[in-house]
Amino acid sequence: MSAQPAAPKRIELPIEGMTCSSCAHRIEKKLNKLDGVQATVNYATEQATVEFDPSRVGTDELLAAVEATGYRASLPNDDEGESEQEEPDTTAPLRRRLIGSAVLSLPVLLLAMIPALQFEYWQWLALQLATPVVIWGAWPFHRAAWANLKHAAATMDTLISVGTLAAWAWSVTALFFLGAGEPGMHMGFDLVPERGAGGSDIYLEVAAVVTLFILAGRYFEARAKRRSGAALRALLELGAKEASVLDDDGNERQVPIGELIVGMRFVVRPGEKIGTDGVVEEGRSAVD
């Protein structure tokens, strides 16, 4: 009797840390490099659907491959009690960063754009307001940029981190060494700056407002993604979970839908859900 090859196994891995579609592409590319693995990564649902040969690769290797790209993966939770609990609001931390950054950034923007509001030493107040936004508000971008840098990769987070830090660092340099911190310093609102001007200007409003805008975009994106993910999961819940498979002797046994393969025969009784596409061989019934 010859040994039969192991049947392919299918698993869905929750992925944490993805911030754009390029992140999903990198993870998918890394997983597909493993022997006997076919994977697709969905950025909207933050999950990787992996079909693999358990005799050639294990789940630990799948998790290690995801972590090697700078992201976190975990095995699906099969605890029914956990699944019945309400899903926590993952957008809450991002919402707090957005609100805090908005409160601090708007005064910086007004001071920089309206010369009439620029009182003596206003630039130092702007520095104190903008610094928490650039450091704390933009921390998810800095963290993601550092993780990507360790893997010799660059994403949109890299651009955001470098841009905001560069504007903040130049402003600090100008304040301490280029005369921008002197009393009575003013910045005009010029659409076309003069040549050679701006050597002592500060760009704290750029660093703060760019962070604010990106945080707002990420928040609304995360909220929309959470809603769409919940809709997709609800749609999947409508499908059948098990099928009544007939063996060669005509006996029935219940198997999970994921174990159905081409050639199996299964019974669908009146009102039951059809587990998968198939051909009606015999019988009549009413289905939803």
The CATH number of the domain covering residues in 9-77: 3.30.70.100
pLDDT at 143 over 60: yes
Q: How many CB atoms neighbour CB 158 within 10 A?
A: 17
Identity at 209, one-letter amino acid code: V
The region of weakest confidence among 52-61, 80-89, 216-225 is: 80-89
Between 233 and 223, the higher pLDDT residue: 223
Mean pLDDT of the chain: 81
Mean pLDDT of the 67-76 span: 82
Q: How confident is the model at residue 253 (pLDDT cuts 50, 70, 90)?
A: confident
pLDDT at 48 over 70: yes
Alpha helix (H) ranges present in the chain? 21-32, 59-68, 80-84, 92-113, 122-132, 139-150, 156-177, 204-237
> For position 162, what pLDDT does the model report?
94
> For position 188, what pLDDT does the model report?
67
> For position 4, what pLDDT does the model report?
44
Residue in the structure block whose two tokens are 């956990």: 82
> For position 142, what pLDDT does the model report?
92
Q: How confident is the model over 272-283, as pLDDT tens digits?
A: 777 777 888 888
> For position 7, what pLDDT does the model report?
64
- Which residues lie below 8 Å from residue 37, measured CB to CB, with a gap of 6+? 31, 50, 51, 52, 53, 57, 62
> For position 98, what pLDDT does the model report?
94
The closest of 176, 178, 158 to 166, measured between CA atoms, is: 158
Mean pLDDT of the 82-90 span: 56
> For position 53, what pLDDT does the model report?
81
- Tell me the pTM: 0.69
> For position 24, what pLDDT does the model report?
85
pLDDT at 71 over 50: yes
> For position 152, what pLDDT does the model report?
78
The region of weakest confidence among 57-71, 129-143, 252-266 is: 252-266
> For position 83, what pLDDT does the model report?
44
Q: What CA–CA distance (Å, rounded) separates 143 from 105?
A: 21
Angle formed by the axes of helices 122-132 and 204-237, nearest 10°: 20
What percent of the chain is modeled with pLDDT above 90? 23
Pairing of strands 72-73, 47-52: unpaired
Q: How confident is the model over 169-214, as pLDDT tens digits?
A: 999 999 998 888 888 787 766 655 556 555 668 899 999 999 999 9
CATH of 240-288, one of 3.40.50.880, 1.20.140.10, 2.70.150.10, 1.10.3720.10: 2.70.150.10
